[in-house]
């Protein structure tokens, strides 16, 4: 695979001369070009900052970027339902001047005939320059990346990871709260199956002075591997509680999530747990005046509609940041950023 070899050569070249990220950029050494995004830890903090800064430039003057991807094609391979992720990927590419193709359900692809993800991506790379893939099986986007000559982006794999939602969350926090350090972050709802939660904890654990308050019913607590390999390993302070009311007053950020119905084996369990949390005006009375509420969406019942007009409700702004950060990501991975 030529680009992988080229990339290795670039790394060797860049690390030999110990260039600073700024010097690397000036020297034309774009370390994001040709890369995949499968896990939130795939990019360094410097690389993330590069994407966020580029997203900020796009936000300031989107028209200036409307031809950056002229002649390029994004494939969206969605084996699971999606509104925001797929549409924001597609809007991102269209607003950069590129074009999109793909499918929005496994049934309308050759997966329904038994084709493997590896064969699908080998075919798609003949038609497109970059691919975003969402799949119910954990690890499927990684398999695609291992078999692909074009950059592959994980748009959500089962109950595992969702790194571009995390880019969205981080850009939102950075721009609304003015940074990514020194926060107490409450994460509430389905912490067991919620892939956005797993990716967010991984990514935020690299910033200074971050504390987590993990709010979930007993059956939906955070997986052990996140606790051991991310939180405990990095000495991150965290608290596990069941009641939102008891802790809401201490939070700078409240990240609400829905109970992930599609990952349950048993419908009765889902029905019992689905309304574990409902954020309403009463609960918000106890929250800080500058706490922000985030949600990857879709919302089911966990945030009462009456909260939407509260200035602290940032989830629809978050959805818009999702498009801008994907514009930045696509341009960087294609190496067409100007
Ligand atoms: C999330 C997902 O697909 O994991 N949605 C999204 O991408 N914005 C969250 C969810 O479905 O609950």
Please provide the DSSP assignment of 139-171 as one string: THHHHHHHT-SS-EEEEEETTTB-HHHHHHHHH
Inter-CA distances, 247 with 128, 139, 162, 206, 255, Å: 47, 34, 26, 23, 13
Domains 35-161+321-334 and 164-318 share a fold: yes
Query: How far does the centroid of ligand 1 lie from the alpha carbon of residue 155, in Å?
Result: 9
User: Mapping DSSP to helix (H, G, I), strand (E, B) and coil, where does residue 179 land?
Assistant: coil
Q: Identify the residue whose C-alpha is closest to ligand 1 atom 1.
A: 296
pLDDT at 338: 75
**pLDDT tens per residue across span 234-244:** 999 999 999 99
Which neighbouring-strand residues pair with 132?
A: 76, 153
Query: How far does the centroid of ligand 1 lie from the alpha carbon of residue 297, in Å?
Result: 6
pLDDT at 285: 98
User: Mapping DSSP to helix (H, G, I), strand (E, B) and coil, where does residue 253 land?
Assistant: strand
pLDDT at 29: 62
Which neighbouring-strand residues pair with 157?
A: 135, 161
**Is CATH 3.30.465.10 what the domain over 164-318 is classified as, yes or no?**
no
User: Which residues are part of the catalytic machinery?
Assistant: 84-85, 113, 134, 162
**Is CATH 3.40.50.1370 what the domain over 35-161+321-334 is classified as, yes or no?**
yes
pLDDT at 261: 94
> What's the chain's average pLDDT?
93
Which residue did the predictor score with more confidence, 28 or 172? Answer: 172
pTM value is 0.92
The domain ranges of the chain are: 1-31, 35-161+321-334, 164-318
**pLDDT tens per residue across span 50-61:** 999 999 999 999
pLDDT at 18: 41
Dihedral (Cα; 19, 23, 26, 28), 10-degree rounding: 20
pLDDT at 16: 35
Q: How far apart are CA 122 and CA 206, in angstroms?
A: 34
Select from 76, 78, 81, 85 the residue to mutate for testing ligand 1; criterion: most ligand atoms less than 8 Å from CB. 85
Residues in Cβ contact with 8 at an 8 Å cutoff, skipping those fewer than 6 apart:
none
């Amino acid at each position: 695979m030529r680009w992988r070899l080229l990339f290795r050569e670039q790394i060797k070249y860049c690390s030999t001369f110990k260039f600073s990220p700024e010097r690397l950029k000036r020297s034309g050494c774009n370390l994001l070009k040709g890369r995949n995004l499968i896990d939130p830890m795939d990019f360094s903090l410097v690389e993330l900052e590069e994407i966020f800064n580029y997203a900020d430039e796009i936000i300031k003057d989107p028209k200036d970027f409307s031809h950056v991807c002229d002649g390029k094609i994004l494939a969206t391979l969605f084996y699971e339902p999606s509104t925001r992720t797929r549409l924001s990927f597609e809007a991102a590419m269209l607003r950069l001047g590129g074009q999109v193709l793909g499918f929005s359900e496994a049934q309308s692809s050759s997966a329904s005939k038994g084709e493997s993800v590896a064969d699908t991506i080998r075919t798609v790379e003949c038609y497109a320059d970059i691919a975003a893939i969402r799949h119910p099986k954990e690890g499927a986007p990684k398999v695609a990346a291992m078999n692909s000559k074009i950059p592959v982006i994980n748009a959500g794999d089962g109950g595992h990871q969702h790194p571009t939602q995390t880019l969205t969350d981080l850009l939102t926090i950075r721009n609304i709260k003015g940074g990514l350090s020194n926060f107490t972050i409450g994460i509430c709802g389905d912490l067991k199956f919620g892939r956005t939660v797993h990716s967010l904890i991984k990514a935020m654990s690299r910033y200074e002075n971050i504390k987590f308050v993990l709010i979930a019913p007993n059956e939906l607590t955070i997986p052990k591997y996140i606790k051991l390999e991310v939180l405990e390993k990095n000495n991150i302070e965290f608290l596990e509680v069941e009641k939102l009311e008891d802790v809401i007053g201490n939070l700078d950020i409240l990240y609400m999530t829905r109970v992930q119905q599609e990952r349950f084996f048993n419908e009765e369990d889902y029905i019992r747990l689905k309304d574990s949390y409902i954020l309403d005006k009463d609960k918000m009375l106890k929250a800080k005046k500058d706490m922000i509420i985030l949600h990857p969406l879709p919302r089911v019942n966990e945030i009462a509609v009456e909260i939407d007009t509260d200035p602290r409700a940032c989830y629809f702004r978050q959805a818009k940041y999702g498009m801008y950060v994907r514009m930045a990501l696509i341009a960087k991975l294609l190496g067409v950023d100007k």
